[in-house]
Amino acid sequence: MKVLVCGGAGYIGSHMVRCLLAHRHEPIVYDNLSTGHRQAIDEVPLIVGDIGDANTMRAAFGQHRFDAVIHLCAHSLVGESMKKPYDYYQNNVGGTLCLLNAMREAGVSKLVFSSTAAVFGQPSTPLVDEEHSARPINPYGASKWMVERILADAAPAYGLRSVSLRYFNAAGADPSGDIGESHDPETHLIPNILRAALGHSSSLKIFGDDYPTKDGTCVRDYIHVNDLAEAHLSAIHFMDKHDGAHCFNLGSSNGFTVLEVIEAAKRVTGAEIAFERASRRAGDPPVLVASNAKARAHLGWSPAITNIDDIVRSAWRWHSQARY
């Protein structure tokens, strides 16, 4: 297959590109490089453009005949979305509409969309399945939910086949150690813990230690980035036999507290990791863990790397020798 990977130079995107190559497919990357890195995709063809740039997008579809599109482009910082909601709706919803129109004009009918657990807002159950109602509580989650609704409407109207994959906490890095997570600013827990272990940061904070969990800190579901990439490939094959719009939660169905992740990092790095305790952040649920039963049953997918030490160890391999 020839696959357009929008956002393919980013963290998840670069692992997706490597997955496609490993399975002997042909990825073409579309990225504005605002948060992505050219070095992360080696010599894979790159089209530099914004997802909302209709002319560049149409030119990409005019130059290549794609079998499917993987859409990973998004503004994705929850706090920033509260301060700049117009930016998030413009990029995440408006940009997606630009992509969808280009796909329709080019006759490309299969899309895998990067969604998020943020569509659920404050979950009412510790283990979240796809039947849980969507109640996003910030513009980031709302923008992703809006796109899911657009895709549901596009199925009967245009014959678009789509799969929305709701990530929980993407983590880890490719075992090679030559690609990984590199954000500025970095907001994710595991990279910030490892930055502290390396002495690159002295301000690691735990937000809330009075939650109703085993040690008072939040519980989250960490899914290895390579497992995420494999799920996208499974979703493309799923669409070969299924029309309509579909949603799947992607997680390990296991939860780890913040303190457990810090302890895992201590075991992996051999370093003492200092942290500060801070007050809870608004909107953080005590427990957020995915049920992946639907993905297992319908995509034939299951995560291969679920041990938190293994996930942290792969991230450490990258962070200890980061090249970009």
Q: What is the pLDDT of residues 132-152, one digit of tens each?
A: 999 998 999 999 999 999 999
Those residues with Cβ within 8 angstroms of residue 112's Cβ, 6 or more apart along the chain or in another chain: 68, 69, 70, 71, 162, 163, 165, 232, 235, 236, 239
Q: What is the mean pLDDT of residues 296-303?
A: 97
Q: Is 7 left (phi over 0), alpha (psi -120 to 50) or beta?
A: left
Q: Where are the domains of the chain?
A: 2-171+223-250, 189-220+253-319
* pLDDT for residue 23: 98
Q: Which positions are annotated as active-site residues?
A: 140
Report cis status (omega within 30 of 0) of the bond before 185: yes
pTM value is 0.95
Query: What does the pLDDT average to over 34-61?
Result: 96
CATH of domain 2-171+223-250: 3.40.50.720
pLDDT at residue 15, as a whole number: 98
Q: % helix / strand / coil in the chain, to the nearest 5?
A: 40, 20, 40
CATH ID of 189-220+253-319, from 3.50.50.60, 3.30.465.10, 1.10.275.10, 3.90.25.10: 3.90.25.10
> What is the average pLDDT across 163-183?
94
Residues 6+ apart with CB under 8 A from 182: 11, 37, 322, 324
Tell me the CA distances in angstroms from 92 to 22, 143, 152, one per residue in order.
29, 6, 16
Bridging pattern class, strands 205-207 and 219-220: unpaired
Average pLDDT over residues 245-271: 97
For the stretch 19-31, pLDDT in tens is: 999 999 999 999 9
